[in-house]
Structure 1
Amino acid sequence: MSPRHLLMALATTSLAACSSPSATPQDAGDSTDAPTYQDDADATPEPDADADATPQPSSLRVASFNTSLFGTAAGDLIDTLSNPDDAHPQKIANVIQLVRPDVILLNEFDFDEEHEAIDLFASNFLEVAQASDGEAISYPYRYQFSSNTGIASGFDLNGDEEIGETVGTQAYGNDAFGFGIFPGQYAFAVLSKYPIDVEGMRTFQNFLWKDMPENRIPEGFFSPEALEVLRLSSKNHVDLPIDVDGQTLHLLASHPTPPAFDGAEGRNKRRNADEIRFWHDYIRPSASDYIYDDAGQIGGLEDGAHFVIVGDLNDDPIDGNGLDGADLLVADARVIDPLPESTGAIASGNAREGANLEHQADHRYDTARFNPNVGNLRLDYALPSATLEVTGQGVFWPASTEAYFELIQVSDHHLVWVDVALPQSDD
């Protein structure tokens, strides 16, 4: 039985009638394919000719995965990914090769200006089968996004009456625009089998928190001077257009700060809720006229556009310490909540220890597991627009009695995916 079929057997919902085009075995492809970068937009490569790298038209699998591929200093991730025998990225790649998404957001993937890390991950790990019965996978289009993490603000943002100035220290991270002990730590990247429209991409890294109407900035906590520079996004918010057989799918990617590690003022949980609310406003023209991107363009997504909101949103709609960010999105009429689930989440939830005893949500939908003080939560999302048809969903979280259980230890978050079909074009 192939890894793909074993994975299908693990899912709690049948994917036999709704499998994505990436279910076809794939050759490794040409690792020398040049990804599309913003400064190299004219050098867009053509996808490989094999079946898996050339998806069937108008249908695709979109995924989000917090990979924990970060280092403790700039360049650490490049060093890690330069070693094809490193066990951590091998296991991350193995999971991706099993699920075989067509487009995937990788959270906690350190940024580097040359996009070297994502190229190394593709060539040394994804394009090499990570199991004896495994199948390599190729992503000709890839992009790393700059991040507010580890960028010095110059202000006391955590209220300890000091300004952390030494890169590599906790104090420095606490006062950065987004927590990170060096610039680019905990950033994110995208891999795609479909062409990325880099020129049409919008980023919102510099959007100021104070410019969101009815924001939840804790009153009196930040100095007036700090509020003039404090950015909403703890990493980045990105609208990445992807060309799917002539139609545009907007990948709306972010990784909001956890609603934790703050004091009575609740600055992080408030920021988390507003970071998530940003997408709620962005996808409706009537609510997005306050939004400006890093290029100065005003407004949000056009009405009727196809999109998938992806990311480790760090908020459970029912349990945990968050406010109402995630439940605002999953209840949004413009969004479909596919409610991805897994057998592993059910088994882990049934163990019912620590905070899990107090949780109210059905554990089958959890996507992350933490120590007993926090418990299991639904934090990771792939939420398509109501303009799309959902044909499948899942979370890579096998139970202990199932194949590939050992792979879940690679991250405290699990890969989440949704299969969507785009409506036929009128052209």
Structure 2
Amino acid sequence: MGLRAAICLWLLAAAPAPAEPVRIATWDPGLTRKGPGLLLRDIDRGDPQVLAAATVIAAAAPDAILLTGFDWDHDGRALERFSETLRGAGLDLPHRFAARPNSGMATGLDLDRDGRLGEADDAQGWGQFTGQNGMAVLSRLPLGPVTDYTDTLWRDLPGHLMPDSTDEAASVQRLSSTAHWDVPVRTPEGVLHLLAWAATPPVFDGPEDRNGRRNHDEAAFWLHHLPDAPFVLAGNVNLDLIDGDGRAQAVQSLLRIAQDPQPRGAWQPPQTGANAGQRGDPALDTADFDDDEPGNLRVDYLLPARTLNVMASGVLWPAPGEPLAEAVEAASDHRLVWVDLELSPAQTPAPIAAAGDR
């Protein structure tokens, strides 16, 4: 063997193996119920909708997934049992995080000024009970200590659009309708920050546009809290930039900072009925609202930092008759969104303590 060939072989042997991509997903699986404890009951009963949700997640095989429609309970029993259900479906995501959301958290005030207290509209975020329609993270990879911004007051957001309110209401009203979390995911190549939130729909209000303003500000929050590290913005943003209602400026600002891989579904419903007048690309839609105005929308997003290499992405929306189609249809009116990210090996990865399961 010549010297040149020997050097080439040595360089090949010394080169680091390419990093495995990390698959991040977000989905509203519809795992919320009308009363506390009912989700845990349904999980233990093997409810068909619960099993369908587990089947969909197992098919997507994420390394970490944000669930934006999952009832919270104090002891985390529902999330623990659902993790076991996932394991039975063939996917082991042993690391989990969930904290009390603002949805259903009583304020003791008449926030909607209708003369009645204790209603779902008077909670920090709309909810009939504490924890209804909360959030959760499940992960194959360890999770570092989470920064929970959920108690941030709306009035404390720089440049907020909060409508006129009494001093008493402004002193307690939180920004997050559900939650805002910075969840470090510990990959072999370093820490990836999962910046998670689920926003209120920018509708169902009056001329004051309270929900539209809040939806905007829930996205604008991240403009002030992006880490100086790899990240992916993830969640149910409840805003379609082309076909939906709402104020798009904050999400558009995020898109100038992060990248949009524009995950696409393999199939789209016929563009008839409520979908007929839409202008957006139907392959980007993530929610099946065809029976209602304004039709199917893109409301679930994964927006990685521009420093990350996007290897692949997609929306899990199979055509009717395909093996997974029945489970996808039965689980939720939302569709799971995923992205495969390549993280460069960290130069000096900072040690990070493992977070206890919650």
Q: TM class by shorter-chain length?
A: 0.7 to 0.9
CA contact (8 A) 2:219 2:251 kept: no
- The residue that corresponds to 1:184 in the other structure is 131
The whole-number CA distance in structure 2 between the counterparts of 1:237 and 1:216 is 18
Partner of 2:10: none
Shift of the alpha carbon at 1:316? 0.8
2:252 to 328, 339, 344: 328
Distance in 2 (alpha carbons) for counterparts of 1:105 and 1:339: 18
The structural deviation recorded for 1:418 is 0.5
- Shift of residue 243, structure 1, vs aligned partner: 1.0
Identity %: 38
Of the three residues 412, 416, 424, the one matched with 2:333 is 412
Contact 1:313 1:326 in 2 (8 A): no
- Counterpart in the other structure of 2:298: 378
Aligned residue among 21, 35, 40 for 1:78: 40
Structure 1's unaligned 5+ residue stretches are 1-55, 130-135, 166-171, 284-300
Change (3 A) 1:272 1:238: same
1:68 match: secondary structure: coil
Between the aligned partners of 2:343 and 2:48, the Cα distance in structure 1 is: 37
Deviations along 1:212-234, one digit per CA (max 9) or x if unpaired, are 12211123xx2221011110001
Distance 1:159 1:264 in 2: 14
Q: Which of 101, 106, 116 does residue 152 from structure 1 map onto?
A: 106
Relative to 1, partners in 2 of residues 1:344 and 1:157: Cα closer, same or farther, differing over 3 Å? farther
Asked whether 1:161 is paired with 2:115, we answer: yes
> What SS class does the counterpart of residue 387 from structure 1 fall into?
coil
Partner deviation per Cα, 1:220-256 (whole Å, 9 max, x = no partner): xx22210111100011100011111151110101101
Deviations 1:70-104 (A, max 9, x none): 12111111111112x31011100101111100000
- Considering only aligned residues, what root-mean-square deviation do their CA atoms show, in Å? 1.6
Using structure 2 for the length normalisation, give the TM-score: 0.88
Partner of 1:40: none
Amino acid at match of 2:283: R
> Greater shift after overlay, 230-239 or 398-407?
398-407
Q: In the alignment, what sits opposite 1:423?
A: 344
Q: Aligned letter for 2:184?
A: P
Q: Could you say which residue in structure 2 is the equivalent of 1:202? A: 147
In structure 2, distance between residues paired with 1:96 and 1:326: 30
Equivalences for residues 254-273 of structure 1 within 5 A: 254-273=197-216
Q: Deviations over 1:371-417 (max 9, x none)?
A: 23220100001111111100000001112253322123221110000
Q: Are 1:122 and 2:83 matched, yes or no?
A: yes
Q: Which has the larger radius of gyration?
A: 2
Deviation per CA, 1:244-279, whole angstroms, max 9, x where unpaired? 115111010110111111111110011001001111
Number of the residue aligned with 1:342: 265
Alpha-carbon offset, residue 57 of structure 1: 5.1
Amino acid at match of 1:180: G
Which ranges in structure 2 are unaligned for 5 or more consecutive residues?
1-17, 349-358
One-letter code aligned to 2:70 = F
For 2:194 and 2:272, the matched residues in 1 are separated by 35
CA gap 1:326/1:96 in 2 versus in 1, 3 angstroms: farther
TM-score, with structure 1 as normaliser: 0.74
Secondary structure of the residue aligned to 2:235 is: strand
